[in-house]
A and B are shown apart, each in its own frame.
Chain A
Amino acid sequence: MIAAALDSGRGSTAGGTGGLPASALLVRESLLAPTRTGIPSRRVPRAACPPVRIAVALMLVLSAATSPAAADDTDQVIVLKAGRVYTVSGAPIDGGIVIVRAGRIEAVGRDLQVPEQARVIELADAVITPGLIDACCAVNFEIPQAASSRVYSAAQPSFWHTLAELQQRRYGDEDRASGTESGGPPSFTTPEGLAAASPPNLTWAEHASEVTPHRLVSDSLNLFSNDFARLMKGGVTTVYVSPDSASVIGSRGTVVKTAGPLSGRVVRRAGAVKATMGSDPSRRGRRNRRPPGRGRPVPPSFHTRRPTTRMGVEWVFRKAFYDAQRARDGLELHGADMPPRQALPVLQQVLDGEIPLRIQARMQHDIFTALRLAAEFKLKFVLEEATEAYRCLPQLKAADVPVIFGPIYMAPTGYRRYSGEANRPRLNTPKQLADAGIEFALTAQELRDEEGLLRQGMYAVRHGLSAEEALRAITATPASLLGLSGKLGVVAPGAAADLVVWNTEPFDATSRPLLVMIDGRVVYEE
């Protein structure tokens, strides 16, 4: 599916096999558009589907595939007519029309003049929302290793495999493909077990130092990852790929679209600097704590000075910003645990507010620590994850700290479970944040499909949040937290044409995307 999505988005080659289904829909609907008035029921065209019409549609599809003008759908004006349009920026519009031109939304409203030669997509009683935005997504972009293409490597050149070896490898590969850990469940009592418990895709952080804000997640990014297709099919059109929590001050995240032509996928290469409070840096970074040249992990020592406690994490954070300040003032740096030289300019920009800062904290006291450190260095930041935010509402409100909350869960799973920090979640935290007047977005982080971003909104609604607020928390608010306010996350003139068409109200339990459009291209169609 991702192949199809990529193909259709590849500009000049959109007329290829992958782009065909999308254009088929477009052409078919435009054929009918002039003959009907108002908002026809979706069932009418479906039921009356004479073979002649199919034949005509087929001919048109073929001609669309061959003629270059029709193949490139970016210049084409696309008009979507739906039962309801949630603009998010304004009130919902029943029977709304969205006009898309050159990848952007040109107009949205009820009684709009449909431009001539536009492709009209009739969506009957379907619902249009802006494409969903996950502002703190943990994308699985494990990069497949091509063992067979070791050209220059001095690996053993032996091709003499026993069948047993071969089978092991085969089934090993299958295991990896299906996402299960092979070789039995990992033990969580040892450092190695803990390292194994966090899947490899979530530990892409650079471990050369505890402070790596000069490294970019976008450099690690695998745009070919199937996870993007999975996100896109869940209605998520933009994600902020956040680094993992293995470093005290980690890399900078990146904003990417989940589908479309490769050249337009990366919206922002270098985003916010991510810091982490709590036990994650000392827990997850542990496997790197070994002196150079040795093979097995050793207990932390003089050679491998890394934080082992919350206090240590806080110290590394403070020392890094302290050193950055001193370096800016032209003073000498002291101490054994200095941040890398390249990190200093980035930290200085964070201090100046030029680069945004995010701090991940789950427990109440970690949130307090984050607030304290931020006040100490006069830093503005966005709080990530914030499991126990409901216990810090006044403080967060007073400090005017926005929250990217999530995921919502009854009981933690995965690496979160073993952090020991996520045992006191509350399902109504979004409602409480809203009531307290704290700006917040929802995130599904590493969760997908039935626990994905849309369903996070649904859970929030189920536990008291209004549907409008929930929709805003997965569209306009994350966009504004990413500094893309008005460009993404709304259906408004001038915004990017990232739209999702749902079969029903998005927060219904039966909702599913019928069509996903990114930058004016249909990248998914049911």
Chain B
Amino acid sequence: MTNSPSCVSAVSQSSGRNRIPLLLQVLGCWLVAVSPLLAQVRPVAIQEATILTGDGRTIERGTVVFQGGKISAVGRKAEVSFMAKKIQAAGKYVTPGLIDAHSTLALRFAPAGDQATAKAVDGFDRYAEDEIRAALREGVTAIYVPSRSASGIGGLGAVIRLQPRPGDDWEEFVLTDEAALCAAVGAQGSQGPLARVKAAEALRQRFRAAKEYRQAWEDYEEDLEEYEKKLVERAKKKAQEKKAEEKKQPSKKGTGGKKNAPSRDRQKPDQDKPRKKDEKKEELKKPTEPKKDRNAEVLLRVIDGELRLRVEAHHPADILNVLQIAEEFNAALILEGATGAHLVADRLAELEVPVVLSAPPAPVVYVPGAGRHARPDAAAILREAGVDVYFGSGVLPSPTAPPQLALRVARAVGHGFDADAALETITFKAAGLLGVEKEIGRVKRGLRADLVIWSDHPFAPGATVERVFVGGREVYHADSDKEGRDE
């Protein structure tokens, strides 16, 4: 498609002598260029499947049709064109691709330090085929990747759609590279009250500094305006004075002409200085421009509500500190990790702060540090208190570790989480949390065709992912997944 305009222009530029063969050539060229796209253009229909739409609806024996990377029809009686590629999926389940709300899958580089401008998407290895395939094998097609530093502000998280061999199309690969500003407070396990105070104060200080930075700019702009006004006034005054002088002494022409332009002051300050001092005009110094601070500008976007703030915190005291900071600076907060969140569930509900549970299951034995408050029914407790709960696979312990999102949520259900809301939290609602609900997260007409065919209900025992489509392109097929089997 994209090649056709250039081909057409080539035709128009060609001479008329051998137009016909050239036209044929061009047509051939166009066909060759377009043929890979034809596969995209041809509709695909998944039929007879149980469709879990992601927003709570179930369509028995339904059909999903997608074409050109988007879902074009959903329903029990969706129309299927005769040329569509049909996939029979009787007895199987179709869900939207699962969305991992916090994952370090294939994330290679962490920002060096307190850096708000660092982008997670730059650290994501889009060619980490094995790791991406491991995620697709679990039905995960989109992940939120944090730009995570050990403590303080990390950078900008991204929402990435997983494809084992990504094309050059940035739009297909990254939904947003500025999903949220990442920060961490006591994520390593707090070293005590003093460290907690320090961590919270450091974050608060950053926001305060950002505000001061804005104030400095506002002051500067005000001063500049005033200065320019005064400059004009003075010029006017000078002109009037000169006029008056000229009226009095019309013989002194040369010096008067020099004084006319205000820019002259800058050109020859040394000569003018002594005279200026004599005239007592120091108050008309040009205000100095504050230094540009890109990091502070990112923080200001959080303060202005343009960007969400995601903080990893575990200890309830840390969480309370973070809540206070978010309130103080009016930041839209999302909590990550949050193994101690259930202890402050009421406060989180009151402030309507969503929580992404992404810590690994806690062992029976006491673990000092970040995870010591963890309990498996935290999700249920939080939800009962009215907190929006989301799930992520968090920091994966090894490159081979898959994000077992479905099992993780199933386990939460086993520990009391609402079974009916479970799938939503890793599809539609997760998309909402990441601000991409108009793109992915549901089986709905017009959304991107990120779909998973499961052998059974995603939470059922022994359920496996059979096929995965991202943007309508098949990116995983269990039959051709050599690593996924033992032979």
Tell me the residues in window 108-138 of chain B with beta carbons closer than 8 Å to chain A beta carbons. 108-110
Determine if A336 is an interface residue (Cβ-Cβ < 8 Å): no
Q: When the two chains form their complex, are residues B370 and A160 in contact, meaning their CB atoms are under 8 A apart?
A: yes
Q: Please indicate the chain B residues that have their CB under 8 angstroms from the CB of A157 in the complex.
A: 363, 365, 367
Given A17-B487, A159-B397, the answer on whether A164 and B365 have CB atoms closer than 8 Å is: no
Q: When the two chains form their complex, are residues B370 and A167 in contact, meaning their CB atoms are under 8 A apart?
A: no
Give the docked Cα–Cα distance between A141 and B105 (Å): 31
Q: When the two chains form their complex, are residues A164 and B150 in contact, meaning their CB atoms are under 8 A apart?
A: yes
Listed by A's residue number, 14 A-B pairs whose Cβ atoms lie within 8 Å are: A16-B487, A148-B398, A158-B367, A159-B397, A160-B359, A162-B188, A163-B104, A163-B107, A163-B110, A163-B148, A166-B104, A167-B108, A167-B109, A173-B399
Q: Nearest chain-A residue to B107 (Cβ)?
A: A163
Q: Please indicate the chain B residues that have their CB under 8 angstroms from the CB of A16 in the complex.
A: 487
Q: Which 8 A-B pairs have the closest CB atoms?
A: A157-B363, A159-B360, A163-B110, A159-B397, A158-B367, A170-B399, A160-B370, A163-B148
Q: When the two chains form their complex, are residues B398 and A169 in contact, meaning their CB atoms are under 8 A apart?
A: yes
Q: Please indicate the chain A residues that have their CB under 8 angstroms from the CB of B370 in the complex.
A: 160
Give the docked Cα–Cα distance between A148 and B148 (Å): 25
Give the docked Cα–Cα distance between A148 and B399 (Å): 12
Q: When the two chains form their complex, are residues A166 and B367 in contact, meaning their CB atoms are under 8 A apart?
A: no
Q: When the two chains form their complex, are residues A166 and B397 in contact, meaning their CB atoms are under 8 A apart?
A: yes
Q: A17, A160, A167: which has the most chain B beta carbons within 10 Å? A: A160
Closest beta carbon of chain B to A164's beta carbon, Å: 6
Q: Please indicate the chain B residues that have their CB under 8 angstroms from the CB of A173 in the complex.
A: 399
Q: Please indicate the chain A residues that have their CB under 8 angstroms from the CB of B359 in the complex.
A: 160
Cβ-defined partner of B369 (8 Å) among A17, A158, A164: A158
Determine if B385 is an interface residue (Cβ-Cβ < 8 Å): no
Closest beta carbon of chain A to B470's beta carbon, Å: 25
Q: When the two chains form their complex, are residues A161 and B110 in contact, meaning their CB atoms are under 8 A apart?
A: no
Q: When the two chains form their complex, are residues A161 and B397 in contact, meaning their CB atoms are under 8 A apart?
A: yes
Q: When the two chains form their complex, are residues B395 and A166 in contact, meaning their CB atoms are under 8 A apart?
A: yes
Closest beta carbon of chain A to B185's beta carbon, Å: 14
Give the docked Cα–Cα distance between A161 and B371 (Å): 11
How many residues of A are in contact with the other chain, CB < 8 A?
Answer: 16
Closest beta carbon of chain B to A146's beta carbon, Å: 12
Q: Nearest chain-B residue to A158 (Cβ)?
A: B367
Given A17-B487, A157-B367, A158-B367, the answer on whether A163 and B398 have CB atoms closer than 8 Å is: no
Tell me the residues in window 355-401 of chain B with beta carbons closer than 8 Å to chain A beta carbons. 359-360, 363, 365, 367, 369-371, 395-399
Give the docked Cα–Cα distance between A16 and B487 (Å): 9
Give the docked Cα–Cα distance between A515 and B22 (Å): 52
Q: Please indicate the chain B residues that have their CB under 8 angstroms from the CB of A170 in the complex.
A: 398-399
Give the docked Cα–Cα distance between A162 and B148 (Å): 9
Given A17-B487, A158-B369, A160-B189, the answer on whether A167 and B397 have CB atoms closer than 8 Å is: no
Apart from A160-B370, A164-B110, what 5 extra A-B contacts exist at CB < 8 Å?
A160-B360, A160-B371, A161-B395, A166-B104, A167-B108
Q: Please indicate the chain A residues that have their CB under 8 angstroms from the CB of B365 in the complex.
A: 157
Q: Nearest chain-A residue to B482 (Cβ)?
A: A17
Closest beta carbon of chain A to B86's beta carbon, Å: 29
Give the docked Cα–Cα distance between A161 and B369 (Å): 11
Closest beta carbon of chain B to A4's beta carbon, Å: 13
Closest beta carbon of chain A to B340's beta carbon, Å: 14
Q: Nearest chain-A residue to B187 (Cβ)?
A: A162
Tell me the residues in window 125-180 of chain A with beta carbons closer than 8 Å to chain B beta carbons. 148, 157-164, 166-167, 169-170, 173
Q: Please indicate the chain A residues that have their CB under 8 angstroms from the CB of B110 in the complex.
A: 163-164, 167
Q: Nearest chain-A residue to B370 (Cβ)?
A: A160
Give the docked Cα–Cα distance between A158 and B398 (Å): 13
Give the docked Cα–Cα distance between A157 and B359 (Å): 14
Closest beta carbon of chain A to B311's beta carbon, Å: 16
Give the docked Cα–Cα distance between A158 and B365 (Å): 10
Give the docked Cα–Cα distance between A173 and B397 (Å): 13
Give the docked Cα–Cα distance between A183 and B286 (Å): 55
Closest beta carbon of chain A to B80's beta carbon, Å: 36
Give the docked Cα–Cα distance between A148 and B359 (Å): 18
Give the docked Cα–Cα distance between A161 and B367 (Å): 13
Q: Please indicate the chain A residues that have their CB under 8 angstroms from the CB of B397 in the complex.
A: 159, 161, 166
Q: Please indicate the chain A residues that have their CB under 8 angstroms from the CB of B189 in the complex.
A: 160
Give the docked Cα–Cα distance between A518 and B84 (Å): 53
Q: A158, A169, A173: which has the most chain B beta carbons within 10 Å? A: A158
Give the docked Cα–Cα distance between A162 and B312 (Å): 12
Q: Please indicate the chain B residues that have their CB under 8 angstroms from the CB of A169 in the complex.
A: 398
Give the docked Cα–Cα distance between A424 and B360 (Å): 59
Q: Nearest chain-A residue to B337 (Cβ)?
A: A160
Q: Please indicate the chain A residues that have their CB under 8 angstroms from the CB of B109 in the complex.
A: 167
Q: Please indicate the chain B residues that have their CB under 8 angstroms from the CB of A167 in the complex.
A: 108-110
Give the docked Cα–Cα distance between A148 and B396 (Å): 13
Give the docked Cα–Cα distance between A198 and B373 (Å): 46
Q: Please indicate the chain A residues that have their CB under 8 angstroms from the CB of B360 in the complex.
A: 159-160
Q: When the two chains form their complex, are residues A160 and B108 in contact, meaning their CB atoms are under 8 A apart?
A: no
Give the docked Cα–Cα distance between A150 and B109 (Å): 29
Q: Nearest chain-A residue to B368 (Cβ)?
A: A158
Closest beta carbon of chain A to B70's beta carbon, Å: 35
Give the docked Cα–Cα distance between A161 and B397 (Å): 7
Give the docked Cα–Cα distance between A157 and B368 (Å): 11
Q: Nearest chain-A residue to B487 (Cβ)?
A: A17
Q: Please indicate the chain A residues that have their CB under 8 angstroms from the CB of B104 in the complex.
A: 163, 166
Closest beta carbon of chain A to B366's beta carbon, Å: 10
Give the docked Cα–Cα distance between A16 and B486 (Å): 13
Q: Please indicate the chain A residues that have their CB under 8 angstroms from the CB of B487 in the complex.
A: 16-17
Bitwise, A394-427 to B at CB < 8 A (1) or not (0) is 0000000000000000000000000000000000
Bitwise, A282-312 to B at CB < 8 A (1) or not (0) is 0000000000000000000000000000000
Tell me the residues in window 328-367 of chain B with beta carbons closer than 8 Å to chain A beta carbons. 359-360, 363, 365, 367
Closest beta carbon of chain A to B18's beta carbon, Å: 38
Give the docked Cα–Cα distance between A336 and B150 (Å): 55
Give the docked Cα–Cα distance between A167 and B108 (Å): 7
Bitwise, B310-331 to A at CB < 8 A (1) or not (0) is 0000000000000000000000
Q: Please indicate the chain B residues that have their CB under 8 angstroms from the CB of A163 in the complex.
A: 104, 107, 110, 148, 150, 395
Give the docked Cα–Cα distance between A162 and B151 (Å): 10
Give the docked Cα–Cα distance between A166 and B150 (Å): 12
Q: Please indicate the chain A residues that have their CB under 8 angstroms from the CB of B150 in the complex.
A: 162-164
Give the docked Cα–Cα distance between A98 and B10 (Å): 65
Give the docked Cα–Cα distance between A158 and B371 (Å): 9
Q: Please indicate the chain A residues that have their CB under 8 angstroms from the CB of B363 in the complex.
A: 157
Q: Please indicate the chain A residues that have their CB under 8 angstroms from the CB of B107 in the complex.
A: 163
Closest beta carbon of chain B to A288's beta carbon, Å: 32
Q: When the two chains form their complex, are residues B148 and A160 in contact, meaning their CB atoms are under 8 A apart?
A: no
Give the docked Cα–Cα distance between A159 and B370 (Å): 11
Q: Please indicate the chain B residues that have their CB under 8 angstroms from the CB of A164 in the complex.
A: 110, 150
Tell me the residues in window 93-129 of chain A with beta carbons closer than 8 Å to chain B beta carbons. none
Closest beta carbon of chain B to A172's beta carbon, Å: 11
Q: Nearest chain-A residue to B189 (Cβ)?
A: A160
Tell me the residues in window 7-45 of chain A with beta carbons closer than 8 Å to chain B beta carbons. 16-17
Q: Please indicate the chain A residues that have their CB under 8 angstroms from the CB of B148 in the complex.
A: 163
Q: Nearest chain-A residue to B148 (Cβ)?
A: A163
Q: Nearest chain-A residue to B399 (Cβ)?
A: A170
Q: When the two chains form their complex, are residues A160 and B399 in contact, meaning their CB atoms are under 8 A apart?
A: no
Give the docked Cα–Cα distance between A322 and B219 (Å): 95
Closest beta carbon of chain A to B258's beta carbon, Å: 64
Closest beta carbon of chain B to A66's beta carbon, Å: 16
Q: Please indicate the chain A residues that have their CB under 8 angstroms from the CB of B188 in the complex.
A: 160, 162
Q: B108, B189, B369: which has the most chain A beta carbons within 10 Å? A: B108
Give the docked Cα–Cα distance between A169 and B189 (Å): 20
Q: Please indicate the chain B residues that have their CB under 8 angstroms from the CB of A161 in the complex.
A: 395, 397
Bitwise, A173-195 to B at CB < 8 A (1) or not (0) is 10000000000000000000000
